[in-house]
Amino acid sequence: MTAFELSDDHENFRKVVRDFAEREVAPHVAQWDRDHHLPLEIVRQMGDLGLFGLAVPEEFGGAGGDFTSLCVAIEELGRVDQSIGITLEAGVGLGINPILTYGTDEQKQTWLPDLVAGRALAGFGLTEPEAGSDAGATRTRASLDDGYWTINGAKAFITNSGTDMTSLVTVTAKTAENEISSIIVPAGTPGFVVEPPYEKLGWHISDTHGLTFEDCRVPEENLLGRRGDGFRQFLAVLDDGRIAIAALAVGLAQACLDLSVDYAKGRTTFGTPIGSRQGVAFQLSDLAVAVEAARLLTYKAAALKDAGTAPAKLKQAASIAKLYATEAAVTATRTATQVFGGNGFMEEYPVARFYRDAKILEIGEGTSEVQRMLIARGLGLPVA
């Protein structure tokens, strides 16, 4: 087996998640999308299936498995719906992973069991209205006094931050000049305000809010990891997240390919299937190549993660996978919509939903421009 080939166990697990997605998600997803509704029962069912704990040690209720398995699950959920896929991706990568990686034993014992079981969700408050790609421009501040952190500031576009089962949000804040730290803020803490949900282009089922903190006080022991390590922490969190987003993009691109091939076989014009025409067939051939390349890049990066590869090499692989897979996904939706013609413009067809959902893939967890910058730096180029 090469480093880029999934094991039989991974492929068998894929079948389990695919069955769940097609049975429990697919029949309802169009209505959930119209209603902008995240069904928390699905989150709990994903927890029952063990999806949140795939790469979490058994002592915290997880399966003790590998990161590749998580990517398989995200891909298969994303093949049916991107919002459900990102709910899992963010729940693990941005909710569980920071606490698992940097938390104290007490923090892990307090928060992880419910998160891993799918009884709770958590968010990661990094992005701000004036600090997106330039995360070092964080304006949220936290001051320590009498054993409490007092937090003031605002966060934007935070996934899983406002559901009825959200238990906490980890936020980055300036704790001194040129010092950024991460702090756990439990849901319901006075001064922690969840703003109304965004009206988004896509990901209608996903829970996304802005957050504000007004003299929000949490105990000193809610500091995550060492003081001043917040910037380093979120950079590492984003590297893992980029691989997972690439897996989400692969799921979308595969769905577009499958739907388009089926449609091209059945849709006839002038007495023959549209798939018999080179103008359609060649577009789908190109799409098949892109899907295969995106999947290989994604699972290569996941394998490197599982192998404990050096951070610099992993960062390069993650950025390459994220850049290629997400841009391939956006192209896939454009191709699929074109193949479907007028029907592709109608919301009753999944390709219209995928078209709306795809664009954020090129933005979240670092824009395509940021990925190109990181890749160039990995090549040794002095790009600013």
* Residues 335 and 287: beta-carbon distance below 8 Å: yes
- CA distances to 232, 310, 324, 373, 376 from 380, in Å: 21, 16, 20, 11, 7
Local structure of residue 138 (DSSP, 8 states):
-
Rounded CA separation 153/224 (Å): 18
Which of the residues 220, 362, 365, 369 is marked catalytic?
365
* Residues 210 and 158: beta-carbon distance below 8 Å: yes
DSSP string, 16-48: HHHHHIIIIITTTHHHHHHHT---HHHHHHHHH
Does an H or E element contain 174, and which? Answer: strand 166-176
* Residues 176 and 271: beta-carbon distance below 8 Å: no
Positive/negative CA dihedral, 187, 188, 191, 197: positive
- Residue 177 annotated to the active site: no
Local structure of residue 160 (DSSP, 8 states):
T
* Residues 26 and 76: beta-carbon distance below 8 Å: no
Phi, psi of 104 (to 5 degrees): -75, 165
The two tokens of residue 384 are: 């600013």
Neighbouring residues of 245: CB distance < 8 A, sequence distance ≥ 6: 89, 322, 325, 326, 361, 364, 365
* Residues 95 and 116: beta-carbon distance below 8 Å: no
Rounded CA separation 252/58 (Å): 31
* Residues 171 and 210: beta-carbon distance below 8 Å: no
* Residues 77 and 204: beta-carbon distance below 8 Å: no
* Residues 182 and 172: beta-carbon distance below 8 Å: yes
The two tokens of residue 16 are: 């389990």
* Residues 339 and 280: beta-carbon distance below 8 Å: yes
Residues identified as active-site? 365
